[in-house]
Amino acid sequence: MEIRYFRRSETELLQNAIHSVWAPNHVLGRNEQLLNYMFYENPAKHHWVDAEYYSFLGAWEDNKVVGLLGVMPFEVNNKGNTQVGCSLTNWIVPPEYRSTGAGYALFHTVKERNPEMILSLGINSTVAKLYKKMGWSILQDVPRWVGIVNKQKTVDKMLNGNERSLRFWDELKTYQYNSEYQIFDYIDEQWDQFYEQSFAPKTIGFSRNFQFIKWRYINHPAFNYNIITCKDGNNNIRGMAIIRIESVLNNCEKIGRIVEFIAVDQDSSVSLANAVAEKAKDCLFLDFYCFSSISTWGLEAIGFKKILASENDPVVVPTRFQPIDLTITNMMAAFSIQSDIKNKINLAEESCFYITKGDSDQDRPN
């Protein structure tokens, strides 16, 4: 059996394998631009593979692709120190080839790089059991903050008229106050000074430097992201939010996806939250997935709530909309971190993990 990364010259082979091994008509199998963006143009790819390769692994048996594992390399920020990690996607071996050990061989090839952190976001319960056996940490419900913009329409359009799950929810209410802080609709290299001095030293996760922001959001080949920055009276950046407005219900309604929310004080956090709410004023609601509450103060100040998962309220608002799915109500994740990160963390510091949907393939076209 041969285990190796696909070459850039093997784009058609890789897309055909995604179609036949992973899923027919999958977006990566039909959209070469998106495939290249995620696994070839990734700015951290040079830490992982040579320039002529995709960061996408294949397993070959008798010259036939019988397994796949996509790798999205990222720089890992460990409280100001930088290492290398990755997110995993599209890990699969068809049932008839699982006895060959192809699945383990694919994963072992990733582990050989000794990544500081490996993230697998949006997994199912079967895969979670596999990761748990390998000693990974499992999040049954990645924390999700939801802000209701239009409560009645959300109930009618998203919950079949059943308002019970939103019985304690109010619509967002922004703060009107005088502040020297100002909001801007752009970001540039000045971001790195703020990030490296103010946010990176107190967080653990994949790096949010300007190189990442530019690749992940500004240069995305399919989505348009709204980038919002906050500056103080001296023109110093104090935070950033990034949202995407998604059309749902046959383009008749909209929802807002917050993919980044970073702020360092009350004024910047509320200013950014106000700006996010203004951008999404025509939406039904907004949501934000993040491993911790380290950056959510401003969102909570204007009315966002962290979903309290329970059997009594299995759905607050749906997580999937194309089409609406009221059966899958959470996002599961698994992650593995090296001991030098673990040794820096105790239970009182767990909120230092800044990991969002931007750290995987979960915010992409279907």
Edge-to-edge strand order for the sheet containing 237-248?
Answer: 182-184, 226-231, 237-248, 253-263, 285-289, 144-148, 305-306
Distance of alpha carbon 360 from alpha carbon 85, whole angstroms: 12
Q: Please provide the average confidence, as pLDDT, over all residues in the chain.
A: 93
CA torsion through residues 347, 352, 357, 359, sign: negative
Which of 178, 295, 173, 176 shows the shortest CA–CA distance to 238? 295
Mean pLDDT to the nearest integer, 222-230: 97
- ω into 94 cis (within 30 of 0): no
Q: Does the pLDDT value for residue 349 go beyond 90?
A: no
Contacts 24+ apart (CB under 8 A), 164-168: 164/313, 165/313, 165/315, 165/316, 165/317, 166/316, 166/317
Mean pLDDT to the nearest integer, 249-275: 95
CB 112, CB 84: distance < 8 Å: no
Distance of alpha carbon 226 from alpha carbon 222, whole angstroms: 13
Distance of alpha carbon 366 from alpha carbon 328, whole angstroms: 16
Report pLDDT digits (tens) over 131-166.
999 889 899 999 999 999 999 999 999 999 999 999
Note the pLDDT of residue 174: 95
Note the pLDDT of residue 313: 84
Classify strands 324-325 and 320-321 as parallel, antiparallel or unpaired: antiparallel
Classify strands 64-78 and 53-61 as parallel, antiparallel or unpaired: antiparallel
**CA-angle at 139, arms to 116 and 42, nearest 5°:** 45
Q: In this predicted model, which residue has the larger pLDDT, 337 or 213?
A: 213
CB 78, CB 206: distance < 8 Å: no
Note the pLDDT of residue 319: 86
Note the pLDDT of residue 348: 54
| Structural domains of the chain sorted by starting position, each given as residue range(s) with its CATH number in brackets | 2-115 (3.40.630.30), 144-333+351-359 (3.40.630.30)
Q: Does the pLDDT value for residue 73 go beyond 80?
A: yes
Q: Does the pLDDT value for residue 346 go beyond 80?
A: no
Mean pLDDT to the nearest integer, 171-184: 92
Distance of alpha carbon 228 from alpha carbon 182, whole angstroms: 10
Q: Does the pLDDT value for residue 337 go beyond 60?
A: yes
Q: In this predicted model, which residue has the larger pLDDT, 340 or 310?
A: 310
Q: Which helix (H) or strand (E) holds 71?
A: strand 64-78
Which of 325, 310, 290, 334 shows the shortest CA–CA distance to 146? 290
